[in-house]
A and B are shown apart, each in its own frame.
Chain A
Amino acid sequence: MSSPLKKLLLIFLLTLAAGYVSLPKEIPLNINYGPVNIEKKIKRHDINISYKDFQIRKEFDLKFGLDLAGGSHLVFEADTSKIEDERKEIAVEGLKNAIERRVNLFGISEPNVQTSSYAGKDRIIVELPGIRDTKQAVDLIGQTAQLVFAEVGTEEEPGIYPTDLTGADLKRADVAFDQTTGKPMVALEFTASGSEKFSRLTAENIGMPLAILLDTEVISAPIVQDQITGGSAQITGDFTIDEVKKLAVQLNAGALPVPVELVEQRTVGATLGAESIEKSVKAGIVGISMVLLFMVLSYGRLGIVADVALIIFGILTLACYKLIPVVLTLPGIAGFLLSVGMAVDSNILIFERFKEEKIKRPYKDALEVSFGRAWDSIRDANIATLTTAFVLANPLDWNFLHTSGPVRGFAITLSLGVILSLFTGIYVTRNLLRVFIKDTKKKGK
Chain B
Amino acid sequence: MDWLKHKKLYFLISGTAVVLSFLSLLTWGLKLGVDFRGGSIVEYKFSKEISTEKAMEEMTNEGFEINSVQEIGENSYLFRFPALTEIEKDRVASIAAGLDDTGFSEELRFETVGPSVGPELVRKTFYAVFVATGMILLWVAIQFKSFKFGVCAVAAMFYDSFILIGSFSALGHFLKVEVDFLFVTALLITLSFSVHDTIVVFDRIREINKIRRGDLYSVINSAITETMVRSLNNSFTIIFMLIAIILIGGITIRWFAVALLIGIVSGTFSSPFVASPLLASWDGALEKVKKVFFRKKP
**Chain A residues proximal to chain B, CB less than 8 Å:** 67, 75, 77, 118-119, 121, 132, 134-135, 138-139, 261-269, 271-272, 275-276, 279-280, 282-284, 286-288, 290-291, 294-295, 298, 330-331, 333-334, 337-338, 340-342, 344-345, 348-349, 352, 356, 373, 376-377, 380-385, 387-392, 400-402, 404, 406-407, 410-411, 414
Contact = CB atoms under 8 A, between A and B. Distances in A.
B181 interface: yes
Interface stretch (B17-25, B163-171, B242-250, B283-291): B242-250
B248 A267 contact: no
A383 B199 CA distance: 10
Contacts of A391: 128, 131-132, 135, 188
B43 A331 contact: no
Contacts of B128: 391-392, 401-402
Main secondary structure of the interface of A (DSSP, over half): helix
A266 B131 CA distance: 28
B185 A410 contact: yes
B90 interface: yes
Contacts of B181: 404, 406-407
B234 A269 contact: no
Contact of B230 (A67, A349, A402, A410): A349
Given A286-B244, A334-B253, A384-B195, A291 B237 contact: yes
A291 B240 contact: yes
Contacts of B242: 287, 337-338, 341
- Interface pairs A-B: 6 shortest CB-CB: A341-B238, A388-B192, A287-B244, A263-B114, A283-B249, A287-B241
Given A348-B230, A356-B226, A388 B124 contact: no
Contact of B196 (A135, A139, A352, A385): A385
Contacts of A382: 196
Interface string B87-109: 00010000000000000001111
21 contacts: A75-B117, A139-B86, A262-B114, A271-B106, A271-B108, A280-B253, A291-B241, A330-B252, A337-B241, A344-B234, A352-B233, A377-B199, A377-B200, A377-B204, A381-B203, A384-B140, A400-B123, A402-B128, A406-B182, A407-B181, A407-B185
Contacts of B230: 348-349, 352
B116 interface: yes
A347 B106 CA distance: 47
Given A121-B116, A294-B236, A400-B124, A392 B185 contact: yes
A287 B245 contact: yes
Contacts of B253: 280, 330-331, 333-334
A271 B192 CA distance: 34
B86 A381 contact: no
Main secondary structure of the interface of B (DSSP, over half): helix
B13 to A, nearest CB: 24
Contacts of A385: 192-193, 196
B135 A344 contact: no
Residue picked from B43, B111, B196, most chain A C-beta under 10 Å: B196
Contacts, number: 214
B269 interface: no
Given A139-B86, A341-B234, A387-B192, 9 more contacts: A264-B113, A269-B108, A280-B245, A280-B253, A341-B237, A341-B238, A349-B200, A356-B226, A385-B193
A275 B244 contact: no
A388 B191 contact: yes
Contact of B192 (A267, A290, A389): A389
Nearest to A349: B230
A134 B86 contact: yes
Given A377-B204, A392-B188, A352 B249 contact: no
A334 to B, nearest CB: 5
Residue picked from B86, B191, B239, B241, most chain A C-beta under 10 Å: B241
Contacts of A402: 124-125, 128, 184
Contacts of B132: 387-388, 391
A388 B188 contact: yes
A51 to B, nearest CB: 45
B237 A376 contact: no
Given A119-B120, A338-B238, A381-B199, A280 B191 contact: no
Given A77-B116, A381-B200, A290 B250 contact: no
B292 interface: no
Contacts of A271: 45, 106, 108
B257 interface: yes
Contact of B244 (A290, A345, A384, A387): A290
Given A298-B233, A391-B132, A266 B111 contact: yes
A345 B196 CA distance: 11
Contact of A294 (B43, B185, B199, B237): B237
Contacts of B143: 380
B282 interface: no
A333 B252 CA distance: 12
A131 B12 CA distance: 55
Contacts of B236: 294
A135 B161 CA distance: 40
B52 interface: no
B192 to A, nearest CB: 3
B260 A264 contact: no
Contacts of B234: 341-342, 344-345, 348-349
A280 B43 contact: no
B138 to A, nearest CB: 9
Nearest to A72: B110
B139 interface: yes
B256 A384 contact: no
A291 B191 CA distance: 23
B265 interface: no
B229 interface: yes
Contacts of A67: 252
Nearest to A382: B196
A337 B192 CA distance: 16
B65 interface: no
Contacts of A401: 124, 127-128, 131
A417 to B, nearest CB: 11
